[in-house]
A and B are shown apart, each in its own frame.
Chain A
Amino acid sequence: MTLDEFVTAFAEEFDETPAEQFKADTVYKELDEWGSLTALSIVALTMENFGKKITGADLRACNTIEDLFNLIQTK
């Protein structure tokens, strides 16, 4: 999965936030819709697409979607 594809998949987990709002440099934690449900969805999405397990701590450590993408690559 490329960074662009990850951004698209990331956006799909949000029901209220318009997809256009998601870019590689989006600071996801600042989105109104960011919360435990969306966080768990991103954990599941990462498992499904990369076969890798990220934690709540990982999500807290990153700022942008790209940061998270890069962190996933190192796992």
Chain B
Amino acid sequence: MENPFSLEGKFILVTGASSGIGRGTAIACAQMGAKVVLSGRNETRLQETLASLAGEGHLVLCGDLNSEETRKEIVDKMPPLNGVVYCAGISQIQTAKFMDQLSLEGIFQTNVFSPLMLNSLLLKKKKIQKNASIIFISSISGVYRSQVGEGGYGATKAALAGFAKSLALELSAQGIRVNTIHPGVVETPLLEVSNGTLGEEELETLRQKYPLKRFGKPQDIAYCAVYLLSDASGWMTGSNILIDGGFTLK
């Protein structure tokens, strides 16, 4: 019997592939047989990801997705895709009272506008094939819970979940599926943003609040992405998948 969880023969674009969850996802996709297109800004770290991928035929497309010009260049070089994981994103802490317009625009640009406009371009240029699978990496923040100072970040993550529902409808005729993944805290360089205010002690206290007594690892999220990209999840679209070690249970 053919393995329904295999990604053999699929071309998958992973944004944010130079670090953290995106890198873990790219590695897991390649392990499952996919050819992966790696997107990110840091060429050195993208090459490191490339070096750790199993199999052949992967591609690096380096560039800042916040630039319209760069998005065009990247899409022109893009092979026809069977899956996309929109993982590139940034974090930010600012309270509602001290909201700064430029910072707010910055995080919306990276976390919302850029993936949505890249997605638009991929569709226009017919780079997303029938029966493909699209995943947005959202967060528990915004949709399920929040903490002080996380309003702007949470708003971007909730925006993705809102958008994905409509996209799922628009693309359903072509059999293209769209889902979101909502991770709890995952150990990646992104954590350093909160680390500035949190400190090692508070981080440990937070870790203990996770019923499974640890933060997530990039693989924890990557394996869910693999499932959503594979034909095994062929009847799943418009879903929000929570992966948080039980954090939102209480």
- A residues touching B (Cβ–Cβ < 8 Å)? 36-37, 39-41, 43-45, 48, 55-57, 60
B95 x A44 contact (CB < 8 A) = yes
Interfacial chain A residues near B199, Cβ < 8 Å: 56-57, 60
B97 x A43 contact (CB < 8 A) = no
Given A36-B147, A36-B148, A41 and B197 contact (CB-CB distance below 8 Å): no
Q: How far is the CA of A60 from the CA of B196 in the complex (A)?
A: 12
User: How many residues of chain B get a CB closer than 8 Å to chain A's CBs?
Assistant: 13
> What are 10 of the A-B contact pairs (CB < 8 Å)?
A37-B149, A39-B197, A40-B98, A40-B149, A41-B95, A41-B97, A41-B98, A44-B97, A56-B198, A60-B199
B148 x A43 contact (CB < 8 A) = no
CB distance from B150 to the nearest CB of A (A): 10
B98 x A44 contact (CB < 8 A) = yes
Q: Is B239 an interface residue (CB 8 A)?
A: no
Q: How many A-B residue pairs have CB under 8 A?
A: 34
Chain B 197-224, CB-CB to A under 8 Å as 1, else 0, gives 1110010000000000000000000000
Q: How far is the CA of A41 from the CA of B99 in the complex (A)?
A: 11
CB distance from B185 to the nearest CB of A (A): 15
Interfacial chain B residues near A41, Cβ < 8 Å: 95, 97-98
A37 x B148 contact (CB < 8 A) = yes
Q: Is B94 an interface residue (CB 8 A)?
A: yes
B98 x A36 contact (CB < 8 A) = no
Interfacial chain B residues near A40, Cβ < 8 Å: 93-95, 98, 148-149, 197
CB distance from B250 to the nearest CB of A (A): 19
Given contacts A40-B98, A48-B98, list 13 more A-B pairs with CB under 8 A.
A36-B147, A37-B95, A37-B148, A40-B93, A40-B94, A40-B95, A40-B149, A41-B97, A44-B97, A45-B98, A55-B197, A56-B197, A60-B199
Q: How far is the CA of A19 from the CA of B98 in the complex (A)?
A: 20
CB distance from A45 to the nearest CB of B (A): 8
Interfacial chain B residues near A45, Cβ < 8 Å: 98
CB distance from B97 to the nearest CB of A (A): 7
Q: List B89-103 residues whose CB lies under 8 Å from chain A.
A: 93-95, 97-98
Closest to B194 in A: A56
Chain B 149-160, CB-CB to A under 8 Å as 1, else 0, gives 100000000000
